[in-house]
Amino acid sequence: MKVRHLAGRFTRALYPGAPRSEDLAWVATILPPEVDAAFLRQPRHDQRHAIGVARDVEARLVGTADAGDPRWLAAALLHDIGKLDAHLGICGRVVATLAVAVGGRGLAQRWSGSRGFTRRIALYLRHPELGADRIRIAGGPEEAARWAAAHHDAAHYDAARWSALGIPERVVAALDAADND
C-alpha cells in the first residue's frame, strides 16, 4: 500500500464523528438487515471509509451495465468487515500494518495460534478471509464475500482469477481504485 494512502486513512480515522444519517439510510437500502447490523458494529471510521468507497464505486460505474448493482455496492461497503474480529483500535492497526511491512504476510499464519496482542494482529491481517465468512454467515451477497476475501490481491491482477470469482473486470477496477486512491 502507498504511504500517502495509509497516512490519509490514519488521519481520517482520528475523526470521531459518525457517518451522516443520510449515508446510513442509503446503506440500509443496499444491505439486508442482518448484514446492515454487522456493518453498524464497525467503528465509525470504518463505516465512513466503507461508505466513501461505495459512493466512489457508484460514481465509477455510472453509465455501465453494472451501475447501481447492489452486489457491487455491498462489496464496497463490506470489504473490511473482517477487521471486527481483531478488536484493534487505530494504534493497534498501525502496529499491525508496520508488523506486516517488516515481517511479511506470513505473520498472520505464524501468529494465529498465539494469544493476546499478537493474535489480534494475526486476526487483523486475516481480515479478508474472516470478512468473507462474516458476510456469508449474515446472508450477504456472495459476490461481496468473494470481494472481501480477495480485495487485497487486486494489485496482483489476474483476469482468469477475477473471472472465476464472478466479478466483472470493470467492477474489480472500480472497487480497487475506490479503496486505494
Domain ranges of the chain: 3-13+29-180
Confidence of residue 16 (pLDDT cuts 50, 70, 90): confident
Q: Which of 130, 137, 127, 136 lies closest to 92 in space, CA to CA?
A: 127
CB 76 within 8 A of CB 54: yes
What's the whole-number mean pLDDT along residues 49-68?
97
Query: Among 145, 140, 180, which residue's Cα sits nearest to residue 165?
Result: 145
- Condensed to tens digits (0 to 9), the pLDDT of residues 135-174 reads 999 999 999 999 999 887 655 556 667 677 889 989 999 9
> Does residue 134 surpass a pLDDT of 80?
yes
Segment 120-134 mean pLDDT: 94
Q: How high does pLDDT run on average in the chain?
A: 89
Going by pLDDT thresholds of 50, 70 and 90, the confidence category of residue 133 is: very high
Q: Are 78 and 54 in contact (CB under 8 A)?
A: no
Q: Which of 60, 52, 38 has its CA nearest to residue 8?
A: 52
pTM of the model: 0.88
- Residue 70 CB coordination number (10 Å): 15
The predicted pLDDT at position 170 comes to 93
Dist CA 88 CA 95 (whole Å):
10
Nearest C-alpha neighbor of 151 from the set 134, 136, 122, 171? 171
Rounded CA separation 162/82 (Å): 21
User: Strand ranges (DSSP E) for the chain?
Assistant: none
Return d(Cα 138, Cα 35) in angstroms, integer.
5
Q: pLDDT confidence of 74, banded at 50, 70, 90?
A: very high
* Of 172, 178, 124, 126, residue with least CA distance to 146: 172
Report whether 112 contacts 141 (CB < 8 A): no
More confident residue, 26 or 10: 26
> What's the mean pLDDT in 72-84?
97
- Asked whether 121 and 86 are in contact (CB, 8 A), the reply is yes
> What amino acid occupies position 116?
G
The residue-averaged pLDDT of 21-40 equals 97
Distance CA 162, CA 14 (A): 34
Of 108-112, 131-135, 175-179, highest mean pLDDT: 131-135
How many CB atoms sit inside 10 A of residue 71's CB? 19
